[in-house]
């Protein structure tokens, strides 16, 4: 049996890395007053159509949608922001606080061609700062992405690109001029870009096709269409980033794949040359919440793709799985009255142990403890059961001690210190 194409099991030996990411995010974000939120994995399809936009790749061809038994049109969430905007509205979170700082980590689903760094079920860590239109909010959000990358030691393996895509009306005028220009070269554009001329022309700016890029060099520039307010917002963010010593590159061709962004758009990319080199994508979305039926509340956020982040994490962070320190060998698993007392004590002191569950003889069990590189082996044989004692064998040196169960706590106090 194989898992579905584009999905993967996360195995026990990888879990430490995932837990580490959760911990680092929690530690850093908590300090900045971001609260974790968990929204359902399924939502009404309409939520994504109304937010992400009908002409985007996600809604157009990547959604996992189905009808449930009540004939509702349901979608497995392809991203987190729309669900969080919905949760903010449903639960009126904006009524309690004027600023809601939220973060999430969980699986997302997109029907894409699976390849390196691209899965059908993948995971995103994301944050949303909801309630402020100030450039300092954009900066805080970008800084937190960098802080997290630094903390998990993806040192200097990435670069931040940032752009201002203005507001809706600025973009509308720009789109008309861009389309006018591109129509002249329609035959020379790549197929994707050709299709986008009528549906989503801004995305053409993002094209990786060299010929299209060449044509774009002389195309009208979005920044020329931006108002002073848009430009000022962007300049202020750049000033803050400079002060924070966060390196960035302004990329005037950067547009995000989702419709709801305005003003700021940014991406964090790795230096590696394969196509899936964007680890983090984000931006400002001042109209989304209103568009979904909520009040007019500005917001900014990002999402990091964890399957693309994990390969960058330095090996020293994938701490070597600690070997079980204590192995328990029992001669007769049917007569185990003192075994439970011993286990309770280990539990009380939070010592990690593994109980042998085979019915092998004691020497075989001790050999097993050696193989597993346990530090000590607790031996409970017939004699120990009779005397209410326990034999402690130090596997590295072979030294053995026998102590009364009543002294076991004291022994552990000593054990914990070493």
Nearer to ligand ATP among residue 140 and residue 267 (C-beta): 267
CB of 112 to ligand ATP, least distance (A): 5
Order of all β-strands in the sheet with 42-44: 42-44, 73-76, 64-67
Nearer to ligand ATP among residue 58 and residue 379 (C-beta): 58
Nearer to ligand ATP among residue 118 and residue 194 (C-beta): 118
Order of all β-strands in the sheet with 100-109: 35-36, 100-109, 121-130, 299-305, 278-284, 262-270, 158-166, 248-250
For residues 286 and 233, the answer to whether their CB atoms sit within 8 Å is no
| Contact residues: ligand ATP, CB under 6 A | 79, 110, 112, 117-119, 122, 124, 257, 276, 278-281, 303, 305, 307-308
Nearer to ligand ATP among residue 82 and residue 374 (C-beta): 82
Bridge partner list, 44: 74
CB of 6 to ligand ATP, least distance (A): 8
Nearer to ligand ATP among residue 280 and residue 376 (C-beta): 280
Question: Residue holding tokens 């996600």?
Answer: 58
Residue sitting closest to ligand ATP (CB) = 305
CB of 321 to ligand ATP, least distance (A): 26
**Read out DSSP for 220-269?**
PPGGGG--HHHHHHHHHHHHHHHHTT--EEE-TT---SSTT-EEEEEEEE
CB of 86 to ligand ATP, least distance (A): 17
CB of 158 to ligand ATP, least distance (A): 11
Nearer to ligand ATP among residue 28 and residue 125 (C-beta): 125
CB of 292 to ligand ATP, least distance (A): 18
For residues 401 and 351, the answer to whether their CB atoms sit within 8 Å is no
d(CA 291, CA 67): 25
Dihedral sign, CA of 19, 24, 29, 32?
A: positive
């Amino acid at each position: 049996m194989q898992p579905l194409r584009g999905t993967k099991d996360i195995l026990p030996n990888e879990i430490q890395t995932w837990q580490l990411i959760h911990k680092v995010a929690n530690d850093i974000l908590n300090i900045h007053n971001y609260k974790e939120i968990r929204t359902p994995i399924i939502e009404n399809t309409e939520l994504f159509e109304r937010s992400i936009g009908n002409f985007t790749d996600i809604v157009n061809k990547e959604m996992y949608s189905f009808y449930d038994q009540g004939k509702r049109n349901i979608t497995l969430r392809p991203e987190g922001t729309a669900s969080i905007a919905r949760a903010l509205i449903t639960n009126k979170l904006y009524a309690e606080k004027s600023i809601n700082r939220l973060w999430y980590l969980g699986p997302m689903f997109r029907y894409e061609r699976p390849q390196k760094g691209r899965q059908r079920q993948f995971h995103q860590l994301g944050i949303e700062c909801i309630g402020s239109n100030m450039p300092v909010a954009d900066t805080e959000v970008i800084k937190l992405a960098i802080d997290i990358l630094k903390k998990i030691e993806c040192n200097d393996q990435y670069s931040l690109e940032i752009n201002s895509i203005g507001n809706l009306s600025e973009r509308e005028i720009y789109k008309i001029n861009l389309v006018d220009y591109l129509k002249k070269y329609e035959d020379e554009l790549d197929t994707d870009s050709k299709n986008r001329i009528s549906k989503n022309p801004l995305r053409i700016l993002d094209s990786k096709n060299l010929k299209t890029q060449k044509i774009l060099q002389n195309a009208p520039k979005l920044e020329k269409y931006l108002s002073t307010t848009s430009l000022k917002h962007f300049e202020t963010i750049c000033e803050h980033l400079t002060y924070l010593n966060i390196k960035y590159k302004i990329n005037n061709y950067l547009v995000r794949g989702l419709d709801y962004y305005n003003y700021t758009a940014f991406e964090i990319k790795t230096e590696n040359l394969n196509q899936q080199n964007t680890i983090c994508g984000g931006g400002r979305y001042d109209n989304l919440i209103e568009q979904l039926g909520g009040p007019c509340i500005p917001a900014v956020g990002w999402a990091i793709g964890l399957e693309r982040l994990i390969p960058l994490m330095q090996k020293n962070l994938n701490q070597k799985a600690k070997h079980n320190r204590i192995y328990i060998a029992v001669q007769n698993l049917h007569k185990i009255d003192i075994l439970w007392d011993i286990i309770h004590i280990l539990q009380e002191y939070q010592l990690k142990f593994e109980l042998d569950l085979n019915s092998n003889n004691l020497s075989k069990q001790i050999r097993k403890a050696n193989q597993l590189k346990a530090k000590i082996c607790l031996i409970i044989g017939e004699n120990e059961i009779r005397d209410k004692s326990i034999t402690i064998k130090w596997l590295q040196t072979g030294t053995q001690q026998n102590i009364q169960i009543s002294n076991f706590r004291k022994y552990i106090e000593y054990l914990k210190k070493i």
